[in-house]
Amino acid sequence: MEYQIRLTKHAVKDISSFQRADQRRIKRAIDGLAGNPRPRGCQKVRGKDSRLRIRIGRIRVIYDVNDKRRCVEVARVRLRSESKYRLRG
């Protein structure tokens, strides 16, 4: 049974700021979280207990997993160079 994917308003806005090719890569990675919310290479975000991140080149997808409701909520999609991606959202 797959997980439901939800995007916050911030995540939708973040994704729209990237070029089309990057948007496709991001969408593919997020869709993959429905089948496996903790893929190989995912890491916990420092300072947040339940928040995880995956890397897509220079881009980070920050998300939370709720196993009881089988839901993945994507909080932010930011460039790695933006240090605030870890703290907000």
Lowest model confidence (mean pLDDT) among 29-33, 66-70, 80-84: 80-84
Q: Which pLDDT score is estimated for 36?
A: 95
pTM exceeds 0.85, yes or no: yes
Domains for the chain: give ranges and CATH numbers.
Answer: 4-86 (3.30.2310.20)
What distance, in Å, lies between the first and last C-alpha atoms of the chain?
Answer: 28
Question: Between the CA of residue 81 and those of 3, 31, 84, 86, what are the distances in Å?
Answer: 29, 24, 9, 11
* Distance between CA atoms of residues 24 and 66, nearest Å: 25
Angle at 47 between CA 45 and CA 63, to 5 degrees: 35
Angle at 69 between CA 16 and CA 12, to 5 degrees: 5
β-bridge mates for residue 34, sequence order: none
Residue 89: is its pLDDT beyond 80? no
Q: Which pLDDT score is estimated for 83?
A: 54
